[in-house]
Structure 1
Amino acid sequence: MSFKFIRELFKLGKMSGDKKQGSGDGAKQVTCLLIGAGARGFGYAYYAVCYPEQFKIVGVADPRDFYRKRVQDENKVSSEFVFKDWREAAEREKFADCVIIATPDREHKGPAVAFAQKGYHILLEKPMAVTEEDCREIVSVCKDNKIVLAVCHVLRYMPWAYKIREIIESGEIGEVVNIQHTEPVGFFHFAHSYVRGNWRNEKLSSNSLLAKCCHDVDLIKYWMGDSSKCVRVSSFGSLAHFRKEDKPQGAGDRCLDCSIESQCPYSAKKIYLDRVKQGHTSWPVSVITEVPDIESVTEALKSGPYGRCVYECDNDVMSQQVSTFQFENGATASLTMVAFSSRLCAREVKVYGTKGEITCDASHFPKVEVFDFLTQRKREVECRSQGAMGRLSGHGGGDYLLIDSFVQALRTGKENLVLTGADDTLASHLLVFAAEKARKDDCVVHIKPDGTF
């Protein structure tokens, strides 16, 4: 059903950005309270701009005036339902069908539990929470209150990802014996998010495997299918290069005052200021200041966290990590996350089966190739989306398909349209927690049938 639904979205042409699609179909309009109006929350809210007959933002909560007002103005939200703190909204009588929770990682559990108890359906940014206990509590409360929970594992909604699953399920490559999955984060992306940015320090956010790759682990579980459970996990990682001892001689504490800045690939001047001068004001520039122009970006680099030398930050998360998974049927899988790459989150996948293999290059022009051992022929599977709209074009259209599936599930009552629900998300999160335990304790973690370890 889920594959059929996604294919139908493409056939209907909704990926083309037709704002009139779906109007007058008899299904209800879904109302939403947005909690967290930063880059991710603001992006998902764009669905209401594109499909006002189907989805409406009726409330917003964010402690930052600029971002809160931006959503309020774009969606004409009544001041009665504009809040600086999500707790203020939670104290009100229920006034929307659902909430989108796009707060920082460590602030997911509180609003998720509070709004589930009040009967709001939930679209929750990944990771679900930063501890096993909090994840289990969120799932338990959502189940007790019959809440539709969709976690933002956008990779499941990407055409290449579900196409790989389809090919595996068809039996074309036989029994899967091994999956190799690589997430090349990108050298400047890692410096932006995991050295200078919000996810740089585990105590402030979460470990990099959870923050960056929980949906990569989710894909491995997704492709292996439900018939074989993971039984053993190991993991190794380290923080390389972005350390005080690696600071080049002559480097300053901030890039704008550094005598060797021109020789540094991680220069904040190159990553942010030069981009603005070339007319590029989207991510990552849009993250560091409210108005991404030359003056404000220059000031942000002079005084803010994104102008710091990458060798003088309080970062402690892994810059590379390899995690391995063994399943009860004997199949194995490995996930490699690496910061130091020219590719920017363009995953590389190999699936080895007894009758053939699948190769996927998930770049800007993703393609899936299938090699048949019997015929020794290779075929290429088209899996490019038909395009997406504006702020929902991220992840190859996955952002759009994610929120569309959530909205349509609420409009029609077909909850199976959500591909990343409570149980599946909890199961894959548990594998991430197991991998981190294996890395930190230098051991192989054995998974019990109930998912505990």
Structure 2
Amino acid sequence: MGQNSSQDSKMTCPVRVIVVGAGCRGEIYSQYASIHPERAKVVGVADPRKFARTKLQEQHKIEDENIFEDWHSMVEREKFADAVLICTPDRLHKEPAMAFAKKGYHVLLEKPMATTAEDCTAIVEACTQSGVMLSVGHVLRYDPVIHKIKELIDAGVIGDVIHIQHLEPVGFYHFAHSFVRGSWRNEAESSFALLAKSCHDIDLIHHWAGARRCVKVSSFGSLSHFTKINKPTGAADRCLDCSVERDCPYSARKIYMDRVKQGHTGWPVSVICPNSFPDIESVTEALRNGPYGRCVYECDNDVCSNQVVNMEFEGGVTAAFSMVAFTEEICQRKTTISGSKGELSCNGHEVRVFDFLTERATKHTADKNTPKQFGMIGHGGADYYLMDAFISAVANNDPSLIRSGPEETLHSHLLVFEAERSRLESRVVYPGDTSHS
């Protein structure tokens, strides 16, 4: 996809982009402009943290007058770019998304869209009424291997879709980093785990089910293991002071300090030192005084570590989704789709189709020409393809290039909220059917 879309817009000027939220996601997405300066140029940044915004300013040679501590000051300016990348914390998505849309900026909004169904709906309405494009950061939609699944389904290679089984293995230290010690640990401060982590996956299932509406959903889940009752005898409140830390797989010393000693300064180490480059000194300081040095059994975390969601779509298509923290693999999704003529399975690297008539299996791969800057930072390089599609859509004024557009993304988000309602209320929820409420 990247190659063709690059050629499509070679005759136009680079798309001018501003970044609201210069953290991990903002920095990753804006790297696209460094790789393709002829296609995109970062011309402004807003972030309350001086280190983060200065880092982005230096990377993209942004003029001083376009550097802002607060996005409000940025949006009050006369429109000076074509598009905005909104990569603020989850609870701070709605206000800037609506404000920039109303100002006429095309919007790439990091997932989840917002933390309530009402706010998600309001964002879509604002973008639609303003006539601007909205792309939500469901990067897996743009992963060439995962996109191959949809192509094969649409080509009819497994006949009618009957059942979808999908697993997200979060990864033992990833969960400890992000959902026990980190920014997504506490629902009141961010959002519930199914929305923060797995709206990707519910979106994919919704996508694979086609135009069918989900008619029933049920969900179960809880916070397991990472609670005070499971704190080992003799453990301290911080890993650097702990006498039993060596025997703990979730030790902050093991997850962060050992990586820095091996020369690894990317994720997750980069996250714990937001105001400096991660080295032994800054990491030690962060673990001694910051949230990432806390014992995993002494945090204020309350989000689910394991959850299942069962769905029934129109026509009797069923789907089962599992999210679990305690896995070796990190976010390497596994999918099996059962059809009337065959079975499709994907391990994240390739797609295998077994044909019931011939009883033969065929393997399908997808070309990935991902620049190494994107290939090393998760999502299998899909961040690159998301940005490529968004920049192409803006350059060519063609919203059809966006695979995660407003209406379908809103529907999949609403399904996530219904699934969580099922978990909290311990009952089957019938989306859109008020007679069962």
Q: Normalised by the shorter chain, which TM-score bucket?
A: over 0.9
Hey, what does 2:59 align to over in structure 1? 74
Structure 2: how far apart are the matches of 1:426 and 1:390? 30
Structure 2 residue 38 is the aligned partner of structure 1 residue 53: yes
Per-residue deviation, 1:140: 0.4
C-alpha contact (below 8 Å) 1:44/1:392 kept by paired residues: no
Structure 2 residue 255 is the aligned partner of structure 1 residue 271: yes
Hey, what does 1:390 align to over in structure 2? 373
Q: Give 2:400's aligned amino acid.
A: N
Structure 2: how far apart are the matches of 1:119 and 1:291? 36
Hey, what does 2:310 align to over in structure 1? 324
Decide which of 320, 325, 328 is 1:342's aligned counterpart: 328
C-alpha contact (below 8 Å) 2:138/2:404 kept by paired residues: yes
Structure 2 residue 241 is the aligned partner of structure 1 residue 261: no
Structure 2: how far apart are the matches of 1:414 and 1:235? 37
The alignment partner of 1:374 has SS state of coil
Structure 1: how far apart are the matches of 2:139 and 2:395? 20
Structure 1: how far apart are the matches of 2:64 and 2:108? 23
Q: Give 1:372's aligned amino acid.
A: D
Q: Give 2:421's aligned amino acid.
A: K
Decide which of 373, 376, 381 is 2:364's aligned counterpart: 381
C-alpha contact (below 8 Å) 1:43/1:392 kept by paired residues: no
Hey, what does 2:390 align to over in structure 1? 406
Per-residue deviation, 1:384: 5.1
Per-residue deviation, 1:396: 1.3
The alignment partner of 2:198 has SS state of helix
The alignment partner of 1:446 has SS state of coil
Per-residue deviation, 1:389: 3.2
Per-residue deviation, 1:387: 3.2
Q: Deviations over 1:231-275 (max 9, x none)?
A: 111000010000000101111100010000000000000000000
Per-residue deviation, 1:381: 0.7
* Aligned 1:232-251 pairs, distance under 5 A: 232-251=216-235
Structure 1: how far apart are the matches of 2:30 and 2:52? 12
C-alpha contact (below 8 Å) 2:9/2:396 kept by paired residues: no
Per-residue deviation, 1:449: 7.2
Per-residue deviation, 1:24: 8.2
Hey, what does 1:167 align to over in structure 2? 152
Q: Give 1:128's aligned amino acid.
A: M
Hey, what does 2:416 align to over in structure 1? 432
Assess, with a 3 A threshold, how the Cα gap between structure 1 residues 24 and 408 changes in structure 2: closer, same or farther: closer
Per-residue deviation, 1:28: 2.9
C-alpha contact (below 8 Å) 1:30/1:97 kept by paired residues: yes
C-alpha contact (below 8 Å) 1:22/1:54 kept by paired residues: no
Decide which of 352, 365, 369 is 1:369's aligned counterpart: 352
The alignment partner of 2:197 has SS state of helix
C-alpha contact (below 8 Å) 1:183/1:337 kept by paired residues: yes
Per-residue deviation, 1:403: 0.5
Decide which of 348, 359, 365 is 2:345's aligned counterpart: 359
Structure 1: how far apart are the matches of 2:44 and 2:433? 42
C-alpha contact (below 8 Å) 1:370/1:380 kept by paired residues: yes
Per-residue deviation, 1:305: 0.3
Per-residue deviation, 1:392: 6.1
The alignment partner of 2:422 has SS state of helix
Hey, what does 1:17 align to over in structure 2? none
Structure 2: how far apart are the matches of 1:118 and 1:426? 22
Gaps of 5+ in 2: none
Per-residue deviation, 1:386: 3.0
Per-residue deviation, 1:388: 2.4
Structure 1: how far apart are the matches of 2:220 and 2:197? 16
* Aligned 1:84-233 pairs, distance under 5 A: 84-226=69-211, 228-233=212-217
Assess, with a 3 A threshold, how the Cα gap between structure 1 residues 382 and 210 changes in structure 2: closer, same or farther: same
Per-residue deviation, 1:90: 1.3
The alignment partner of 1:344 has SS state of coil
Q: Give 2:360's aligned amino acid.
A: R
- Number of aligned residues: 433
Hey, what does 1:300 align to over in structure 2? 286
Gaps of 5+ in 1: 1-5, 15-20
Structure 1: how far apart are the matches of 2:325 and 2:7? 41
Q: Deviations over 1:355-394 (max 9, x none)?
A: 11001101xxx01100011111111111252332314653
The alignment partner of 2:371 has SS state of coil
Structure 2: how far apart are the matches of 1:384 and 1:233? 35
C-alpha contact (below 8 Å) 2:10/2:39 kept by paired residues: no
**TM-score normalized with structure 1 length:** 0.93
Structure 1: how far apart are the matches of 2:374 and 2:347? 24
Per-residue deviation, 1:436: 0.4
C-alpha contact (below 8 Å) 2:10/2:38 kept by paired residues: no
Structure 1 consecutive aligned stretches of length 4 or more whose deviation exceeds 3 Å: 21-24, 391-394
